[in-house]
Amino acid sequence: MADWQCERRARDERLAAGSKFAAGKMVAPNDTTALLEAVVRPGDRICLEGDNQKQADFLAACLAKADPKVLHDLHVVQSTIALPEHIDLFEKGIARKLDFSYSGPQGHAIPRFLKSGKIELGAIHTYIELFGRYFVDLTPHVALTVARSADRAGNLYMGPNTEDSPSVIEATAFKSGIVVAQVNEVVDKLPRVDIPGDRVDFVVVAPKPFFIEPLFTRDPASITETQILAAMMAIKGIYAECGIKRLNHGVGFNTAAIELLLPTYAEKLGALASAAAACRSDAFTIWFGNDRSWRTPAIARSAACGLTAPFASNCLGLVTGRRPYPPSRQVRRTFAPKHDS
């Protein structure tokens, strides 16, 4: 006969074990490793990130300090392997299997660990596939997430943009999993509730603000001459020739080169002027993606050319330190709350 209450009982047991180290939902930093040893079980699927940028670095470090005799054979399911502590989990035998999308700074370590047998690879997913499978067959038993601030009830404010954090938390909570949140501070009143407290089981105030993996920050000085040549070819042969009105640029150096050349080379070709004329239509959108600093000259120049809306007219998220810029240039924030516009 099917046992319809097994997941609920397992969750209750984990909560009871973890409550020994908490005052309500609040957990002292020094008790975090003990909390994780209490609520995580060997073989669990675990996600330890807020999203591909916001990293639960303190929780990851605390998990890496766990006793491998207590926690072992964990299955890490998360979009980005960004921190040394993520690799430490496999080095110490705490984790064994990995499903992920992007390795970032740890890209050199993962092949070595695969070759040595310390990592068993599930799959390398697209972001959309991985986040979708959180709700199907890769649901975390425990999610270690991160937020800007929390209140005593466990409600979370994620910061200027939530990105993918709600997907991870919702998938875990709705499947009777455990959600532990690392926050920078606990406050009496949040600017906005992004995650309701009934989806968060434990809250830890980290000793320092959480780490942000700067996926959308690139040093323009690193752009190569080949990438500049390719950008000039794209602008002359496609953008100007075809009268491009809508595009979605990625975050690499190739598109950074195009964006840097828009207010100079593109304007000489007349591409910027034709875009300015087209932009007087409300339906025109030139960029859709994350705000990045090398767009600043093009945004400023587009305004000088008489565009009714700046080039970067749809902004999904913000690079650290750029929060005041889009509103000051009337850049629309798509999929972002009014509170931060």
Whether the CB-CB separation of 94 and 64 falls below 8 Å is answered with yes
- How far, in Å, are 15, 31, 39, 176, 187 from residue 12 at the CA level? 5, 20, 10, 9, 28
**6-212: CATH superfamily:** Glutaconate Coenzyme A-transferase (3.40.1080.10)
> How far is residue 87's CA from residue 207's CA, in Å, rounded to a whole number?
22
Residue 318 has pLDDT above 80, yes or no: no
> How far is residue 74's CA from residue 71's CA, in Å, rounded to a whole number?
7
Least confident window among 80-89, 250-259, 312-321: 312-321
Where along the chain do its domains lie? 6-212, 220-340
Mean residue pLDDT across the chain: 81
Whether the CB-CB separation of 176 and 135 falls below 8 Å is answered with no
> How far is residue 249's CA from residue 50's CA, in Å, rounded to a whole number?
24
Would strands 178-186 and 156-157 be described as parallel, antiparallel, or unpaired? unpaired
Residues 257-313 pLDDT 10s? 887 787 777 767 765 555 444 443 333 344 545 556 656 666 665 544 443 333 333
pLDDT top residue among 162 and 197: 197
What local confidence, expressed as pLDDT, does residue 12 receive? 96
What local confidence, expressed as pLDDT, does residue 274 receive? 52
> How far is residue 180's CA from residue 204's CA, in Å, rounded to a whole number?
8
Q: What percent of the chain has pLDDT over 70?
A: 72
Name the token pair of 180.
Answer: 């532990």
If one counts every other C-beta atom within 10 angstroms of the C-beta of residue 31, the result is 18
What local confidence, expressed as pLDDT, does residue 40 receive? 98
pLDDT top residue among 184 and 298: 184
> How far is residue 325's CA from residue 187's CA, in Å, rounded to a whole number?
27
Residue 229 has pLDDT above 50, yes or no: yes
Residues 12-66 pLDDT 10s? 999 999 999 999 999 999 999 999 999 999 999 999 986 667 899 999 999 999 9
What local confidence, expressed as pLDDT, does residue 336 receive? 41
What local confidence, expressed as pLDDT, does residue 277 receive? 46
Quote the pTM value. Answer: 0.76
Name the token pair of 163.
Answer: 């990105």
Residue 1 has pLDDT above 60, yes or no: yes
Averaged pLDDT, 185-200? 96
Residues 91-138 pLDDT 10s? 999 999 999 998 877 888 999 999 999 999 999 999 889 999 999 999
If one counts every other C-beta atom within 10 angstroms of the C-beta of residue 28, the result is 13
pLDDT-derived band at 198 (thresholds 50, 70, 90) equals very high
If one counts every other C-beta atom within 10 angstroms of the C-beta of residue 13, the result is 13
Residues 37-47 pLDDT 10s? 999 999 999 99
